[in-house]
Each structure stands twice: as structure tokens, then as C-alpha cells.
Amino acid sequence: MKLYFLPLALFLSFFASPAYAYIDPGMGSMWIQALIAFIAGFGVTVKIYWQKIKYFFSKDKKDVCLETKAENDNQDEYK
């Protein structure tokens, strides 16, 4: 279930308030940081999907990442 929230979290991250700056930050510099932030966010998403795929094909299904299990458990509480 939590995978549906990742793109949403990335989308929401583009709506935070801008920081105060008294020097001109320069658009090129800010643009590259936005790009890096996006790539980093994309990287995290890909990594999580990849772990899911690995899990799907793994022979030993008991070898579940504890973190994933714990998160799933938490989500179950809200059902």
C-alpha cells in the first residue's frame, strides 16, 4: 500500500515554503539543486520498487526486510 504514497510525497515536497536569502542565489544554481533533489527522490522510489521486485522473485520468502514488515504491520493497525 505504501508505494502509492511515494509519488504523492515527492509531489507534495514541491510545495514547501522558500527559505529566506539575502544574496541572489542564482537560478542556475537553484535549478541544479532542484534537479538533484528530484533525482535523489526518484532514486529512493526506484530502490524501494527494486526491493519489492527482488522480494517477489526471491526463493526464500521468509527473508522479509524487517523494516518493510514493521511498516506493513503499522498500516494494518489502521485498517
Partner 1 sequence: MDENTRHPASFRDPAGSVFTVNNRVLRGLTTEGAKRYADVKKTGLFELLEHSNSIVQSKEINHSAINTSFVQYLEHELIPFISYPYEWPFELLKAAALHHLSIQLQALDNDVVLIDASAYNIQFKNVSPVFIDVLSFRPYQQGEFWSAHRQFCEQFLNPLLLFAIKGIPYHEWYRGAMEGISTDLLANIMPFKSWFSPKSLIHVLLPARSQQKLTEKQKNSTQGKIQTSTLPKAVYKKFLEQLHNWISGLKPRKWKSTLWENYTTNRIYQSAEVSAKQQFIAEFVSTIVPKQLWDLGCNDGEFSEIALKNGAEFVVGFDVDLAALDNAVQRARVNNLNFLPLYHQITNPSPSQGWLLKERTPILERGQPDAVIALAFIHHLALGHNLPLEEVVQWIVKIAPHGVIEFVQKSDPTVQQMLRLKGDIFPNYTEEAFKSALNGCASIIKVMTVSETGRQLYWYRKT
Q: What Cα–Cα distance (Å) separates residue 29 from each residue in 34, 36, 40, 73?
A: 9, 11, 17, 42
Residue number with CB closer to partner 1 (31 or 55): 31
The number of C-alpha atoms within 13 Å of 26 and in the hemisphere containing its C-beta is 4
Shortest separation between residue 77's beta carbon and partner 1, angstroms: 27
| Cα–chain center distance at 40 | 8
Shortest separation between residue 8's beta carbon and partner 1, angstroms: 14
> Would you count residue 75 as binding partner 1 (CB under 8 A)?
no
Contacting partner 1 within 14-33 (CB under 8 A): 14-33
Interface with partner 1 (CB under 8 A): 13-38, 40-41
